[in-house]
């Protein structure tokens, strides 16, 4: 059988996740360099409806893998079922999402297939005649290019980077249904617990002051709150690290695994600008970043770059603002 580019669809609660269409866009970009057929695979206990939806909205051929025991996502099941299927489809490239789910099964699948696994892919380019994938290193400060070898390459693709394609196809893709019996031996999925609804106000705020690890310690959130108080309709948010450390609640987290926000003004304080954070705030109206490292990646997407120690700069800024206001 000829080689192909395989996309592993991601879905939750009976709905296709947006990242699936981004993966298809990534596969189409790969196809420009190597004209292989694309197949999208979707796994679950009842996925035929979603498979048809993808086939109709993308024009790509789909394999719907129906496994009655796969009511919930299970990494072991994905690894075993895909190992079996990918052998049959002789895949050259496999595109999975760089999400908790993709990161759970993709490396294990690569081991099972003796394939390469490249994570956090942000672009596909040609360099010196070979196809390369680009991935950021050191919080986006440098970009590494990996040429794709002769083995199967499993890529986890960063969400929010590839734009889903506008439909330009003649007919919906074909849907092939495969029924498989599967019993996991080592793990049982108990389900997913929904995070508490966002009551932090970051979704509605016009101004967001976001704290990163650069604030140094939880007490310095006080400066961040004081800065937020300068603006009406403002809210305090944070990077994932700040939430992981318990300095802010998870409902305040901005990024790929947190909230996506589009305030008029986003003030990033002590945030490096990792792609997972940036994908949740890059569409803000105006971005100001305060960071003591002039090479911080956040400056690449900022309208105003303040290279200062935030613990010195923010109090002076607030004081100056108050003086300015009292003289008006
Ligand atoms: C699957 C996955 C999902 C993820 N999802 C998210 C997500 O949704 N949201 C998210 O934010 N991250 C997410 N991350 C984590 C992300 O990769 C980064 O690790 C995180 O965003 C970094 O947070 P930070 O910028 O606060 O910290 P750091 O990267 O440590 O940056 C701290 C910055 O502060 C600066 N600094 C230090 N001291 C000062 C000072 N005194 N004054 C001014 N600047 C200072 C430093 O120069 C540095 O640039 C995810 C990671 C993975 C793998």
For 275-290, the pLDDT digits (tens) are 889 988 988 999 999 9
Whose CA is closest to 318, among 217, 229, 205, 219? 229
Q: Examine residue 184 and state whether it is found in any structural domain, yes or no.
A: no
User: Which of 132, 163, 179 represents a domain boundary (last residue)?
Assistant: 179
Q: Are residues 35 and 162 in the same domain?
A: yes
User: How many other C-beta atoms can be found within 10 angstroms of the C-beta atom of residue 325?
Assistant: 9
We report the CATH number of the domain holding residue 234 as 3.40.50.1220
DSSP letter at 268? E
Which residues, in sequence order, are bridge partners of residue 286?
265
DSSP letter at 295? T
Q: Examine residue 201 and state whether it is found in any structural domain, yes or no.
A: no
Residues 6+ apart with CB under 8 A from 125: 131, 132, 133, 134, 145
pLDDT digits (tens, 9 = 90+) for 160-212: 788 888 767 778 999 999 999 988 788 888 888 776 666 678 988 999 999 99
Whose CA is closest to 154, among 122, 110, 192, 195? 110
Q: Are residues 149 and 225 in the same domain?
A: no
Q: Examine residue 195 and state whether it is found in any structural domain, yes or no.
A: no
For range 285-298, the mean pLDDT: 96
Residue 74: give the domain boundaries.
4-179
Q: Examine residue 191 and state whether it is found in any structural domain, yes or no.
A: no
Q: Are residues 269 and 134 in the same domain?
A: no
Q: Are residues 168 and 230 in the same domain?
A: no
For range 291-297, the mean pLDDT: 96
pLDDT at residue number 2 = 60
Rounded-to-integer distance, Cα 45 and Cα 47, Å: 6
Residue 314 Cβ contacting ligand 1 at under 6 Å: no
Residue matched to tokens 């679950």:
44
Q: Examine residue 257 and state whether it is found in any structural domain, yes or no.
A: yes
Q: Are residues 244 and 103 in the same domain?
A: no
Q: From residue 186, how far is each of 76, 79, 183, 189, 192 by CA, in Å? A: 8, 12, 9, 10, 18
Q: Are residues 16 and 154 in the same domain?
A: yes
pLDDT digits (tens, 9 = 90+) for 41-75: 999 999 999 999 999 999 999 999 999 999 999 99
We report the CATH number of the domain holding residue 104 as 3.40.50.620
Which residue's C-alpha comes closest to atom 30 of ligand 1?
Answer: 213
For range 14-24, the mean pLDDT: 94
- State the pLDDT confidence band at 1, using cuts at 50, 70 and 90: very low
Q: How far is the CA of 217 from the centre of ligand 1 (A)?
A: 14
Q: Examine residue 196 and state whether it is found in any structural domain, yes or no.
A: no
Q: How far is the CA of 146 from the centre of ligand 1 (A)?
A: 24
Q: Are residues 92 and 220 in the same domain?
A: no
pLDDT at residue number 56 = 94
Q: Examine residue 187 and state whether it is found in any structural domain, yes or no.
A: no
For range 212-218, the mean pLDDT: 98
Q: Examine residue 198 and state whether it is found in any structural domain, yes or no.
A: no
Of ligand 1's listed atoms, the one at least distance from the Cα of 255 is 8
Q: How far is the CA of 311 from the centre of ligand 1 (A)?
A: 17
Q: Residue 72 is encoded by which pair of tokens? A: 């919930």
For the chain, how many structural domains are there in total?
2
DSSP letter at 49? H
Q: Are residues 140 and 9 in the same domain?
A: yes
Q: Are residues 263 and 132 in the same domain?
A: no
Q: Are residues 260 and 148 in the same domain?
A: no
Residue matched to tokens 């569409």:
283
Of ligand 1's listed atoms, the one at least distance from the Cα of 313 is 42
**Average pLDDT value over all residues in the chain:** 92
Q: Determine the length of the chain.
A: 328
Q: Are residues 212 and 281 in the same domain?
A: yes
pLDDT digits (tens, 9 = 90+) for 100-127: 899 999 999 999 999 999 999 999 999 9
Residue 214 Cβ contacting ligand 1 at under 6 Å: yes
Q: Are residues 151 and 214 in the same domain?
A: no
Whose CA is closest to 98, among 19, 31, 191? 19
| 229, pLDDT greater than 90 | yes
* pTM of this structure: 0.75
Percentage, residues of the chain above pLDDT 90: 73
Give CA angle at 85 (96, 11), nearest 5°.
Answer: 40
Residue 9 Cβ contacting ligand 1 at under 6 Å: no
pLDDT at residue number 160 = 77
């Amino acid at each position: 059988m000829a080689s192909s580019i395989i996309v592993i669809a991601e879905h939750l609660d009976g709905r296709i996740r947006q990242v699936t269409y981004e993966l298809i866009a990534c596969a189409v970009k790969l196809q420009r360099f190597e004209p292989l057929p694309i197949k999208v695979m979707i796994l679950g206990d009842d996925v035929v409806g979603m498979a048809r939806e993808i086939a109709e909205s993308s024009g790509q051929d789909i394999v719907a893998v129906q496994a009655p025991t796969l009511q919930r996502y299970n990494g072991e099941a994905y690894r075993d079922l895909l190992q079996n299927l990918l052998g049959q489809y002789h895949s050259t490239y496999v595109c999975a999402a760089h999400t908790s789910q993709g990161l759970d099964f993709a490396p294990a699948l690569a081991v099972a297939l003796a394939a390469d696994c490249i994570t956090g892919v942000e672009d596909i380019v040609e360099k010196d005649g070979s196809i390369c994938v680009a991935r950021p290193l050191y919080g986006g400060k440098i970009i590494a290019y990996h040429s794709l070898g002769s083995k199967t390459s499993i890529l986890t693709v960063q969400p929010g980077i590839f734009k889903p394609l506008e439909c330009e196809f003649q007919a919906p893709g074909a849907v092939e249904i495969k029924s498989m019996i599967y019993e996991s031996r080592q793990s049982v999925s108990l389900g997913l617990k929904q995070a508490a609804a966002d009551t932090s106000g970051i979704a509605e705020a016009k101004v967001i002051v976001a704290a990163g690890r650069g604030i140094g310690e939880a007490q310095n959130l006080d400066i961040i709150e004081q800065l937020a108080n300068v603006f009406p309709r403002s809210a305090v948010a944070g990077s994932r690290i700040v939430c992981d450390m318990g300095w802010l609640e998870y409902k305040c987290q901005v990024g790929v695994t947190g909230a996506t926000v589009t305030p008029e003004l986003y003030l990033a304080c002590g945030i490096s600008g990792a792609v997972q954070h940036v994908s949740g705030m890059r569409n803000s109206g105006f971005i100001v970043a305060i960071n003591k490292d002039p090479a911080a990646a956040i400056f690449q997407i900022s309208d105003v770059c303040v290279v200062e120690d935030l613990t010195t700069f923010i109090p002076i800024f607030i004081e100056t603002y108050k003086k300015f206001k009292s003289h008006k």
